[in-house]
Structure 1
Amino acid sequence: MIRPLTISVLLGCAAASAMARVDDDSTYLRLAKAIETFNAVFREVNTRYVDNVNPTELVDVGVSAMLGYLDPYSEYYIDDETDEIETVTTGSYVGFGITVSNPDSVLTITDLRESGPARKAGIRIGDHLLAIDSVRTDTMQSESLRPYTRGRPGSQAQLKILREGRPDTLTFTLARLELDLESIGYSDVLTSGIGYISLERFTRKTGAELRQCIASLRSRSSMTGLVLDLRGNPGGLLEAAIDVVETFVPTGSPIVSTKGRFDESSVEYRSDAVPIEPTIPLVVLINEFSASASEIVAGALQDLDRAVIVGIRSFGKGLVQSIVPLSDNAILKLTTARYYTPSGRCIQRKNYRTSTDEIDTTTYRTFAGRRVSGTHGIDPDLVVSDSIFSPLVNDLMSSNLIQRFATRTAAGMSDLPAGFVADARMFDSFLRFVDQQPARKRSKLLGGLADAETLAQKYRLPKSSIVALEGARRSVERDQIQSIRRQQNDILRLIDMEIRTRFGTSRDRDRFFVPLTPSVGRAIEILRTDTYRQLLSSELPADH
């Protein structure tokens, strides 16, 4: 259950405190009547339904449906599901140090912790995870794997791996290890002394990790500016977002406020720490997957005119969830407030009760008087799309063909050869590999033509129609191969990068991609020129 999280931890029992606050007699009566109705239906289902039912399962389903009616973020976790929240709130977990997803509907290793048990044992990015002990995992969804990877530190499990390009399966015996949930992804000092830090999530340790990373970059170079990358960051702890903003703004600066139905949900948060980087020129990158705590950071730094925001409009999650412990080790994560940036805007995009977008025509201003908008996410000061390669090359990546070819090629290598470079012979091998794939894997157009041929045969269309469709498909196949040949340089760079990643982690991929990314390039340009000052002083209009 991977969703954007902005969590503010509350202690105590919600039920008692909520009842104590309900002073309106009519509200109390409606609540009592609703509970009476629910109990009556629950009793009748348990005693009279045609089949035996499990009352515990009925409650779980009923509670989940009730919360789902409210919004996607209010959730009920039973005992064995609470480790997701514990991981975010504690900043650590016990496991093998793997990240998985389901490209091609097969559970696949997509990243490894540098110091984790899996990488040390020789498991690679691109490997298919077939089983853990006796439990088959290859057809699992990634979110269902957690109970089988977690456990006590030191406890062992056997992982069965299929590595495309090898005829055999591989078995690894791993001991689980307690690992920190890393907040910082790739970081480096780029051209002209511009620092770059990718912030992937917000946990209890995020602020400390960020400060440590900045200190490390400064020890390597005299930084003249910093790019803080929040693209793809789904959020996390509210307190962590505040900690990040405090790194850059003066003590006493407003950061975020929350407002809910009750006084305890309405809080204004100001910086109470001494900033370690109060003046370094700062650009924050966002995209449509930057949500929740990411938007708190971007919104605060934008409203305080402390950073230029670059990228595309963020997700638009302006809701705060509180954690409420329940009986039997269950946890309720309930939306209890909305959050507001220093200028007073709530960037919540969706009204989930009405399934419509929020509308706010108010004109908001930053502290320097720049116009900013609300109710649909954070709008960047400069809009920059991050398309690097041609649509054809992007299709080859999104269909997982370049990644699979890299896995197959690297399968025959015990280590990356010294001086390795993907060359023309490897490109010819890639063309043969693509030619062997089903039509729909090669491109949507080829898949559509293949489906049209099948339908034409099914409905017994004239032979001339079937021949025409077959001819069109073959013509597109030839054209695609020629188009791929014209993109040889870019494809070889990607193959080279993916093969290197098979002997490392996603950091190796980031090291390749980050300097090529248009938004990073634009950020560097802004930080190197007077554009930075002009944007923050309203001398240049923002892109809206």
Structure 2
Amino acid sequence: MMNVMNKIGVFFRSPKRLFLTAGIGAALFFSFKAVDEQFEITKNLDIFAGIYREVNLNYVDEVQSARLIGTAANAMMSSLDPYTEYVPEDDVEDFKMNYVSNEYGGIGALILQKDNKTFVSEVYENFPAQKADIRAGDELLSINSISLAGKTNQEVSDLLKGQKNSNIIIKILRPGDSKPIDKKLLREDIKFPNVSYSGAVGERIGYIKLDRFLEGSALEVKNAFLNLKKRDKISSLILDLRGNGGGILQEAVKIVNYFVPKGETVVSQKGRGEQNNYVYHAGSIPLDSTIPLVVLVDDGTASASEIVAGAVQDLDRGAVVGQSSFGKGLVQQTFKLPYNTLAKVTIAKYYTPSGRCIQKIDYLHKNSRGQAENIADSLITEFRTKNGRVVYDGRGITPDVYVKPYYFSSVIAALVEDNFIFDYGTYYRQKNNGIKNPKEYRLKPDDYDNFVRYVTERHFSFTTKSDNVLNDLERVAKKEKYFDQIQAQYEVLKSKTKQNRDDDLKQFKPEISQVLENEIISRYYYQRGRIEASFKYDTELKEAIKVLSQKEQYANILKGAGDYKIIGKNSAQLRTADVKMSAGNKR
């Protein structure tokens, strides 16, 4: 034995064998590490199986095994990050609708429930519901002779769906009518487009609104862009990614490729294992690598959307306008599990062409309360764009041109939540057969007065945050026996807030009119009408048009002249401003 050990010792001391020593040492290290990891996996699976067995056999009440396992799986996944999740068999179809393709057999309408009744809330143009003249506000009474009384929203939705070309008879009651109507339809394949709108918004300025990055989204952007060039002869483009929560990474890469030279690095991903490391390049000749480009972003712009915005910014290919994006720099992959279940797991972080990861929240290092927090300011690192501009990681995509967001008042939230806006839209459509086109339509003063009477007659009231604070003050003051000393001042404050609330329908007339216009227009021109109606109030869009119209400013942004040399240095102040404004409801 000693001879063997001496020989091994000589071998490791030999200079000629030094390179091999390192290799053997590394192999031994990784071998031991792999064994340790395998042991930990086996050990913890045995512990989990033991816990499950003893609970299942000995718990005082009968347990539902599937629910128990589901709860354990969900708790394990959610402890990592919000994007890592277990998908049971029953939820697989919904999962595919949300993350892969939103195609299903149906009629092309959304529903809502109020007062224990089911109503059509939205009708999509060129689908069976619209073709059959089913309207938003129609009450659904039965589907194929099955009464909807007592049915949940999900149960009604399931009844509306079915195979393509299958018959469906829907009994509806239209507001103002005394008798129900039977509507006979053929279900179709319903696939909502990823590009919800494209058109010209200024002097040869194209506009594409991309809502999601599901299957085919890149092709839709391509077709929209080529149509704009052919039909509207556009010489610049606005790509609207506001509220776009992302989707398929490869679709984002294709879209960037339309506007950057072949071979450019678009995004890279890095995981714990080599198999999850990958660099995505622009693999094709672009559609147009020189057209002036603006990308619109806000705090709802996330994931694949940030890949596009980050690549455009880092390659100095266009300007980013709006507010700081969400800050999701994580990549997920879906794995098949036994019994038709799935696991969606975060496998990597992604990095924009400059090398920065824009992930905002650190899920690995949680605070003492188990909560994940933003990456510390001390860890924020600067990077350089292609033209040498300074950008930062850990904070989402900070826009080149910041536009202060507009937030609606509390009265708007109450009117929408209590369906007063929706119900008045139904009432208006009942009384008016047609209106002007969406870009020209304005709510008349008489119509607004009618709306005020409409909600007043229906006893509209709402509670503000100020009311809640006052109620809490009263409760605490009475508990601490100080209320008698402050009651007079309290009553003055309460009276003042009530007076302000009573005046809200007058004070906030402009923004209430805006929301009403949007709802009314949708009853005649559907989703396209909603979008076109919003243009006249859209401050971010107006700023994007301004940037593209002022060629000098656009050039200064891309080359980093003056204030555009450093993007994101003042992002802390911008985040503070956004937090202060978020007390309201964003437009």
Is the TM value for this pair above 0.5? yes
Letter in 2 for 1:262: G
1:381 aligns to 2:400 (yes or no)? yes
Q: Cα deviation per residue 1:373-416 (whole Å; 9 max; x = unaligned)?
A: 11121111111123287x47755665566623532423524732
Where do residues 414-429 of structure 1 align in structure 2 (5 Å cutoff)? 415-416=433-434, 422-429=443-450
Q: Distance in 2 between matches of 1:411 and 1:312?
A: 36
Q: Distance in 2 between matches of 1:370 and 1:283?
A: 17
Contact 2:141/2:147 (<8 A) preserved? no
Letter in 1 for 2:89: D
* Cα pair distance change 1:533/1:161, threshold 3 Å: farther
531, 536, 542: which one aligns with 2:558: 536
Contact 1:254/1:271 (<8 A) preserved? yes
Task: Please state how far the C-alpha of 1:176 moved relative to its aligned partner.
Answer: 3.1
Letter in 2 for 1:374: D
User: Where does residue 35 of structure 1 map in the other structure?
Assistant: 45
User: Where does residue 126 of structure 2 map in the other structure?
Assistant: 115
User: Where does residue 188 of structure 1 map in the other structure?
Assistant: 199
- Unaligned segments of structure 2, at least 5 residues: 1-29, 367-371, 569-587
Q: Cα deviation per residue 1:185-236 (whole Å; 9 max; x = unaligned)?
A: 1222012111111100001201110111112222222212111110000111
Contact 1:201/1:234 (<8 A) preserved? yes
* Cα pair distance change 1:197/1:380, threshold 3 Å: same
Q: Cα deviation per residue 1:252-301 (whole Å; 9 max; x = unaligned)?
A: 01011111111111000000011112111001011111111111111111
Contact 2:137/2:423 (<8 A) preserved? no
Contact 2:140/2:148 (<8 A) preserved? no
Local SS of the residue matching 1:82 = helix
TM-score, normalised on structure 1? 0.83
Q: Distance in 2 between matches of 1:351 and 1:103?
A: 40
Q: Distance in 1 between matches of 2:304 and 2:38?
A: 35
Local SS of the residue matching 1:503 = helix
Mean CA deviation greater in 350-359 or 314-323: 350-359
- Answer 1 or 2: higher relative contact order, Cα 8 Å, separation at least 6: 1
User: Where does residue 407 of structure 1 map in the other structure?
Assistant: 425
* Cα pair distance change 1:47/1:310, threshold 3 Å: same
167, 178, 189: which one aligns with 1:178: 189
User: Where does residue 15 of structure 1 map in the other structure?
Assistant: none
Mean CA deviation greater in 329-338 or 283-292: 329-338
359, 366, 369: which one aligns with 2:388: 369
User: Where does residue 90 of structure 2 map in the other structure?
Assistant: 80
329, 337, 356: which one aligns with 2:373: 356
Contact 1:130/1:138 (<8 A) preserved? no
Local SS of the residue matching 1:511 = helix
Local SS of the residue matching 2:349 = strand
User: Where does residue 10 of structure 1 map in the other structure?
Assistant: none
- Unaligned segments of structure 1, at least 5 residues: 1-19
Local SS of the residue matching 1:315 = coil
Where do residues 111-510 of structure 1 align in structure 2 (5 Å cutoff)? 111-125=122-136, 133-134=146-147, 140=153, 147-156=158-167, 174-353=185-364, 354=366, 355-359=372-376, 360-387=379-406, 391=409, 394-395=412-413, 399=417, 403-410=421-428, 412-413=430-431, 415-416=433-434, 422-436=443-457, 440-441=461-462, 444-445=465-466, 479-480=500-501, 482=503, 484-485=505-506, 488=509, 491-510=512-531
Q: Which has the larger radius of gyration?
A: 2
Q: Distance in 2 between matches of 1:418 and 1:519?
A: 25
Q: Cα deviation per residue 1:157-185 (whole Å; 9 max; x = unaligned)?
A: 56676777778877755543212231101
Q: Distance in 2 between matches of 1:37 and 1:388?
A: 51
* Cα pair distance change 1:395/1:72, threshold 3 Å: closer
Letter in 1 for 2:541: V
Contact 2:474/2:483 (<8 A) preserved? no
State the identity %. 32
Task: Please state how far the C-alpha of 1:49 moved relative to its aligned partner.
Answer: 1.7
TM-score, normalised on structure 2? 0.77
Q: Distance in 1 between matches of 2:476 and 2:187?
A: 51
Task: Please state how far the C-alpha of 1:510 moved relative to its aligned partner.
Answer: 1.1
Q: Distance in 1 between matches of 2:548 and 2:401?
A: 13
Task: Please state how far the C-alpha of 1:310 moved relative to its aligned partner.
Answer: 0.8
Q: Distance in 2 between matches of 1:273 and 1:311?
A: 29
User: Where does residue 17 of structure 2 map in the other structure?
Assistant: none
User: Where does residue 512 of structure 1 map in the other structure?
Assistant: 533
RMSD between aligned residues:
4.0
541, 545, 556: which one aligns with 1:524: 545
Q: Distance in 2 between matches of 1:296 and 1:342?
A: 9
Mean CA deviation greater in 478-487 or 40-49: 478-487
Q: Distance in 2 between matches of 1:382 and 1:101?
A: 39
Q: Distance in 2 between matches of 1:429 and 1:90?
A: 43
* Cα pair distance change 1:165/1:476, threshold 3 Å: farther
Local SS of the residue matching 1:348 = coil
